[in-house]
Amino acid sequence: MSHLLSCHSLKRQQGDRVLLSVDQLVLELGQTYLLTGANGAGKTTLLRALAGLDSARCANFEFEGVQRSLSPYPRKLHRRIGFVHHHPILFSTSVVANITFGLHATGASRPEAAQRADAAITWAGIRPLVDTPPQALSAGEKQRVALARVHAMDPVLYLLDEPTANLDENGRDLVTRLIDAISKEGRTLLIACHDRELLNLSGVTRLNMTAGRLEVAS
Ligand SMILES: Nc1ncnc2c1ncn2[C@@H]1O[C@H](COP(=O)(O)OP(=O)(O)OP(=O)(O)O)[C@@H](O)[C@H]1O
Ligand SMILES: [Mg+2]
């Protein structure tokens, strides 16, 4: 396997408080990582830093073999790295408009955005939801729309923050199947989750966070 992402001394500080202090993080191409840790351990903070949503410092950040900075975060990485929030925020427009929004924002033409959104809707099995107002969707349905939205961008790295938390068994199953499909497409996933809901996925690497520090779990 080859490195997709590597960084050293990844730090995020708020005032005097160190929220993140990761000596080394290496993500291999095509691998799925489950990131566990107690509430407040820093899982979301790590995902948000890698997605460029919060600033963080890093001694040596390499992505797809190219030296990058985390701060300022390169625009190009927003297409390569997709983040899905624990409670995805959807615009009160339509499911399709939610999926095409990011595509338009990153320069896709109207026909291309429409075609990619349509493919993502098929992929996620959410065609029956396209006429439902986004704000009326259930938590599991929102999560699947959010996964379709990020899948339409075709990122190489997916950062998923507790994608199955608070879902019933059926919702968990549907979301897990999409995650499994992403993994089978050869993409890399870093998924924050809690021990009690560890996803039923094979061949994963477990990472654990404690007080902003990262370790490979046994
Ligand atoms: N903007 C901020 N300012 C100050 N503290 C923050 C900020 N963002 C996060 N924190 C703190 O950083 C720590 C890590 O939070 P984070 O949300 O990353 O934890 P988590 O592992 O995702 O927890 P959970 O399992 O509850 O989702 C927490 O103590 C939190 O209060
Ligand atoms: Mg969190």
Distance CA 143, CA 12 (A): 27
Report, as an integer, the average pLDDT of 3-16.
94
pLDDT of 182 > 80? The answer is: yes
Q: Which of 82, 4, 50, 14 minimizes the C-alpha distance to 214? A: 50
- For ligand 2, a single-atom ion, which residues have Cβ within 5 Å? 43-44
pLDDT of 36 > 70? The answer is: yes
Which protein residue's CA is at the shortest distance from atom 4 of ligand 1?
14
Compute, in angstroms, the gap from residue 161 CA to the centroid of ligand 1.
13
Residue 61 belongs to domain with CATH number: 3.40.50.300
Structural domain including 186 reads 3-216
pLDDT in tens, 51-65: 999 999 998 999 999
| Count of the separate structural domains present in the chain | 1
Which protein residue's CA is at the shortest distance from atom 31 of ligand 1?
40
Ligand 1 pocket residue status of 42, Cβ below 6 Å? yes
Relative to beta strand 32-36, strand 17-28 is unpaired
Nearest atom (ligand 1) to Cα of 86: 27
pLDDT of 203 > 90? The answer is: no
What predicted TM-score, i.e. pTM, was given to this entire model?
A: 0.96
Q: How far, rounded to the nearest angstrom, does the alpha carbon of residue 84 sit from its chain's CA centroid?
A: 4
